[in-house]
Structure 1
Amino acid sequence: MRILIEGRPGVGKTTAVRALADGLSDRTVTGFTTREMREGGTRVGFVLDTLDGRHGVLAHVDFPGPPRVGRYGVDLGVMEELALPALRAVSSRWDAGGGLPDPVVLIDELGRMELSCPGFQDTVRSLLEAPVDLVATVHVHRDPFTDALKERDDVEVIHLSQANRDTLPSKLAARLQSR
């Protein structure tokens, strides 16, 4: 199962992925989510949280970059040190003939900051070829990489909205638990 949860900023994509992770008690889950950093009510950056409990500041207004995404400098080392090892471990285990029991990979998100990491796109492509279930959030904005993923025959795109954001995680968890 390969699912992209597409939604506008602020609709609840991260919240949905975190709720989905909580609902997958019978599966091996790996991946990451991102969350805003705020100071005095103003967004100043983003933290990357792995599903195994590690975290680091992915982007911040005070980081020099490159790369820069909008007003944020991105620390590619956080992607390389935290996000990619867990993702690559899943795909490399399958390449080597091993595996994890019932792996589900959750990625929040396939966004401009994350995609600025050179190895991230290749890792996502590898995961799409591995026999693992993958759920990722994606922005609605046009991007060559994410547009190509949305067009794949083996990828289901689900649009997240205020109308379905509270029920979608449990529906997806039930689908993934029954596999």
Structure 2
Amino acid sequence: MSRPHILLTAPPRTGKTTVVRRLADLLRAADVPVCGFLSDEVREHGQRVGFSVEEFGGRKAVMAHVSWVSGPRIGRYGVNVPAFERIALPAMERALATRGAVALIDEIGPMELLSPAFLPRCMTLFNADLPLVATVHQRSHPMLRSRIEADLVTVTPQNRDELPETLRRLLSG
């Protein structure tokens, strides 16, 4: 039996990361192992100044910041690809190695795709027989949709509150 593979998409600041965070909490409360990572905003004085990457139950690092001048740039952010890879890639490997795990990947977007190892690792997860939910930047999903088999779900203000529980039921059977 094939496990569910779901891509969550939405415009920025709609709640994709919040849905994944709440889903992870619900799965762990049901004793379902969760592997993967969250990408979240770094805020200073009420302003978004960067992004962090955090493994579920593990390490965290800043992967992009407005003040960084070296390295690749996405918009106004300098991106530290090695910092992203140190957290995200091992977290993705653990999803493959952990019996009964659900893989949660937040997000497959322009910053993350700067890592040459990231997309191949994503493809390995999508080709594995394990339940997977990934958030995808709205502009990235057409390219991904042509390469993977997954159900596309758009997060909206109308569905974002009940979506974590709906996904939990689907993923934990």
TM norm structure 2: 0.91
1:132 paired residue among 130, 133, 136:
130
Would you say the 8 A contact 2:34–2:95 is kept in 1?
no
1:5·1:13 contact (CA, 8 Å) conserved in 2?
yes
Distance 1:74-1:15 versus aligned 2 partners, 3 A rule: same
**Runs of 5+ consecutive residues of structure 1 not aligned to the other structure:** 94-99
Percent sequence identity over aligned pairs: 42
SS in 2 for 1:3: strand
1:123 aligns with 2:121: yes
Of 69, 87, 93, the match for 1:82 = 87
Give the structure 2 partner of residue 59 of structure 1: 64
- The question of 1:175 aligning with 2:170 is answered yes
Could you tell me whether the CA contact under 8 Å between 1:62 and 1:73 is conserved in 2?
A: yes
Any conservation in 1 of the 2:110–2:137 contact (CA below 8 Å)?
A: no
Q: Name the residue aligned to 1:70.
A: 75
**Residue 19 (str. 1) matches residue 16 (str. 2):** no
Please give the alpha-carbon distance, in whole angstroms, between the structure 2 residues aligned to 1:152 and 1:114: 17
Are the counterparts in 1 of residues 109 and 137 from structure 2 also a CA contact under 8 Å? yes
Residues 101-112 of structure 1: pairs in structure 2 closer than 5 A: 101-112=99-110
**How far off its partner does 1:152 sit?**
5.4
Going from structure 1 to structure 2, the CA distance change for 1:47 and 1:153 (only over 3 Å counts) comes to closer
Runs of 4+ in 1 over 6 A off after TM superposition: none
Kept after mapping to 2: 8 A contact 1:111/1:139: yes
Taking only aligned residues, the RMSD between alpha carbons, in angstroms, comes to: 1.5
Cα deviation for residue 53 of structure 1 reads 2.9
What letter is aligned with 2:47? T
Alignment size in residue pairs: 168
Which of 143, 155, 163 is the matching residue for 1:160?
Answer: 155
Q: Structure 1-normalised TM-score?
A: 0.88
**1:59-93, Cα deviation, whole Å (9 max, x unpaired):** 001112321100111111122211101212333x4
- 1:147 paired with 2:142, answer yes
Out of 20, 33, 42, the residue aligned to residue 37 of structure 1 is: 42
Distance in 2 (CA, whole Å) between partners of 1:117 and 1:140 is: 19
